[in-house]
Amino acid sequence: MPPPTLPIAVGVAVLVSVMGWRTRALTGTGAVTASLIGSLILAGTGWAGGACLGVFFVGASLVSRIQGGEGPMGLEARGNRRDPVQVMANGGAAMAGAILALANPRLGLWVVASSLAAAGADTYATSIGALSRLDPVHLGSSRRVPPGTSGAVSLLGTVGGVLGAALPAGAAAIVVADMALLTGATVIGVAGMLADSLIGATLQARFHCPRCDVPTERGVHHCGGPADHVGGRRWINNDVVNAIATALAGLAGLAVGFSLQASSS
């Protein structure tokens, strides 16, 4: 199948983003940002990158609806609608891979598939892990904490993360008939998920609301009162953690793709 022309790439990306907005998976500005990223991925990596992005977006949007509202300890979720910051945090590395693909399609696809596999793994792990009967274990303290707490892992969530990595990686691999891409991007995606949890456990900002006496991930709690900074780097929130993890996964994908390309030449 020939790669999509630029007008087709833009049209498909805009159509999917509008559908995401209409189904309340994206905010209005989030849809605009997703249109830009989707256009670049389709134009740079063709239908393989488009399939990878589509499977990630649809799957992440559906599985995110498992989770919602506020956790039992006051750790707020931002809702199911992704805003521009969240879209860039999850898709910024893939966008960089799409730009790289204009010069080297194979390497660019590795970056796209690996970074989206990491984003998918994190999303699935968080949402599916919320179904676990056992509270997850925080990597920093080794204590059980409420579901949804950054830096916490569970067995069910980890299994979900593997699925979340394999689906977008597999979509790209099927289009280009490259099983090495499926295996490599899935492994990198799971590693990116674990890196996300580790960074979340050690560096992400943690706050405590003295008015409600609950932990929170925001400097201002939903009650409107200021929260005390009790740990982590104040400027590192969940979006920053996601951006770092997907960037690391993209770089790992670039390294593996380059190695395979060099060995085959």
The Cα diameter of the chain in Å comes to 63
Cα 27 to Cα 50: distance, rounded to the nearest angstrom = 21
Query: What pLDDT does residue 1 have?
Result: 64
Under DSSP, is residue 77 helix (H, G, I), strand (E, B) or coil? coil
As averages over each run of 10 residues, the pLDDT of the chain (265 residues) reads 86 94 93 96 96 95 70 48 92 96 95 98 91 83 76 90 98 96 98 94 86 78 80 87 97 96 83
Amino acid at position 104, single letter: N
Under DSSP, is residue 213 helix (H, G, I), strand (E, B) or coil? coil
Cα 4 to Cα 12: distance, rounded to the nearest angstrom = 9
Cα 180 to Cα 18: distance, rounded to the nearest angstrom = 33
Is 18 exposed, middle or buried (CB count within 10 Å of its CB: 0-12, 13-18, 19+)?
middle
* Paired tokens of 144: 């059980």
Cα 3 to Cα 13: distance, rounded to the nearest angstrom = 14
**Domain boundary assignment for the chain:** 6-264
Query: What pLDDT does residue 152 have?
Result: 83
| Dihedral, 194, 199, 205, 206 alpha carbons, nearest 10 | 50
Say if residues 104 and 115 touch (Cβ distance below 8 Å).
Answer: no
Q: Which neighbouring-strand residues pair with 207?
A: 216, 229
Phi, psi of 104 (to 5 degrees): -145, 90
| Dihedral, 189, 193, 195, 199 alpha carbons, nearest 10 | 150
Amino acid at position 108, single letter: G
Amino acid at position 99, single letter: I
Strands (E), the chain: 137-138, 152-153, 206-209, 214-216, 228-231
